[in-house]
Homo-oligomer: A and B are copies of this chain.
């Protein structure tokens, strides 16, 4: 059976060159990077080279990069690290309703510890209005954290504008760039941010490697205390192979970024164009300001998990924001925040493509997607409208 991986926004295959770069650090170079003997020193040099490449990808200085184990860790580190560092200055944070759980749930934890958090609304395309950011700022505000690009609806936020507002007010700005770094050009300076989270598995690097960019001179309290690894800011014996892999992946992403964008964008456009020919189907997120390999839809009258399963049966791996496809059994809060009613949010489906995607895959996909929708609509009690749908809140039945 054909296998087409269309869940690149969740995670990515490892680039073969990345794995090659990692291998020696699984084999000969196992020494502790802190140690004084040879194997340890080789490991330390490898880490510093990786830091250099990783910094280059986002146009940062290498000492501004702290390696972590995941995007989620970087987000937790950024929010708690700034909150605890600046709690004497103020106890107010601003985030958006588009944030990933790793930002949202950290914000909720901080609320329990006495911080106040403003959750900014989204427009129907998922955009945060910079004017709303400005209005939300108080004397107590110590951090603004806005996601760069949504993995669910693909929309890219105007981070540079928001960062400018933050900078104007002397407030630190963090962006969760996990789904953008490696997929679109990212420059920490032109984005006007002080902290940025990203993860290697989003650009053909290994799982288990993430980074937090911390602008020089910014004080953060560690999330993981311990030894003096990462300049005392993130403890734990370094995961040398993963860090080396992140460095290599960053190097490849820097080199190939435009090529990758040019490769996926026409495919994404073809998916969207073909899909929009289907009745009662619409695009979610912004049509222009969106990730180049990201196509996301609401398909009326059928449910996302069922689409996923039928597509999986045809070899196509993808994602959905429907309640049934999430283990929490709740429709994606982002879909609700951009004004999609809960019953329509059930029909969410997300396709994300990558450098391994071919024209043949796209042709096969366009055909199959249409067939799957047709099939599920034959089973559905709805055909022309949502007759009989109660507009009540749905509590999960247990």
A76 contacts across to B, CB distance below 8 A:
223-226, 235
Give the distance in Å from the alpha carbon of A71 to the alpha carbon of B32 in the complex: 14
Which residue of B has the minimal Cβ distance to A225? B105
Give the distance in Å from the alpha carbon of A308 to the alpha carbon of B27 in the complex: 23
Q: Is A208 an interface residue (CB 8 A)?
A: yes
A109 contacts across to B, CB distance below 8 A:
84, 221-222, 225
Set B207, B223, B227: member contacting A239, Cβ < 8 A: B207
Give the distance in Å from the alpha carbon of A343 to the alpha carbon of B79 in the complex: 43
Which residue of B has the minimal Cβ distance to A9? B32
Q: Is A240 an interface residue (CB 8 A)?
A: yes
List residues 310-355 of chain A with CB under 8 A from any CB of chain B: 312, 317-319, 325, 327-328
Q: Which of A12, A70, A236 has the most CB of B within 10 A?
A: A236
Q: Is A201 an interface residue (CB 8 A)?
A: yes
Give the distance in Å from the alpha carbon of A113 to the alpha carbon of B31 in the complex: 36
- Contacts A225-B105, A226-B102, A305-B36 given; indicate if A236 touches B71 (C-beta within 8 A): yes
A305 contacts across to B, CB distance below 8 A:
36
- Contacts A14-B30, A225-B76 given; indicate if A37 touches B237 (C-beta within 8 A): no
Q: Is A384 an interface residue (CB 8 A)?
A: no
A238 contacts across to B, CB distance below 8 A:
207
Set B26, B37, B236, B325: member contacting A7, Cβ < 8 A: B37
- The size class of the interface chain A forms with chain B is 35 or more
A226 contacts across to B, CB distance below 8 A:
72, 75-76, 100-102, 105-106
A106 contacts across to B, CB distance below 8 A:
225-226
List residues 68-98 of chain A with CB under 8 A from any CB of chain B: 69-73, 75-76, 84
Q: Is A173 an interface residue (CB 8 A)?
A: no
Asked whether B308 lies within 8 Å of A71 as measured between CB atoms, the reply is no
Q: Is A158 an interface residue (CB 8 A)?
A: no
Q: Is A285 an interface residue (CB 8 A)?
A: no
Give the distance in Å from the alpha carbon of A26 to the alpha carbon of B31 in the complex: 22
Give the distance in Å from the alpha carbon of A328 to the alpha carbon of B224 in the complex: 18
Asked whether B239 lies within 8 Å of A319 as measured between CB atoms, the reply is no
Asked whether B71 lies within 8 Å of A237 as measured between CB atoms, the reply is yes
Which residue of B has the minimal Cβ distance to A73? B224
Set B101, B201, B208, B223: member contacting A223, Cβ < 8 A: B223
Q: Is A19 an interface residue (CB 8 A)?
A: yes
Asked whether A11 lies within 8 Å of B32 as measured between CB atoms, the reply is yes
List residues 211-242 of chain A with CB under 8 A from any CB of chain B: 221-228, 235-242
Q: Which 10 A-B pairs have the closest CB atoms?
A: A208-B239, A102-B226, A70-B236, A69-B69, A105-B225, A72-B236, A72-B226, A37-B317, A10-B32, A72-B235
Interface residues of A (CB under 8 A from B): 5, 7, 10-14, 19, 22, 26-27, 30-32, 34-40, 69-73, 75-76, 84, 100-102, 105-106, 108-109, 113, 199, 201, 206-208, 210, 221-228, 235-242, 305, 308-309, 312, 317-319, 325, 327-328
Give 12 A-B pairs besides A13-B30, A72-B224, A207-B239 with Cβ atoms closer than 8 angstroms: A11-B237, A36-B312, A37-B312, A69-B236, A72-B235, A102-B236, A109-B222, A199-B237, A207-B240, A207-B242, A208-B208, A208-B239
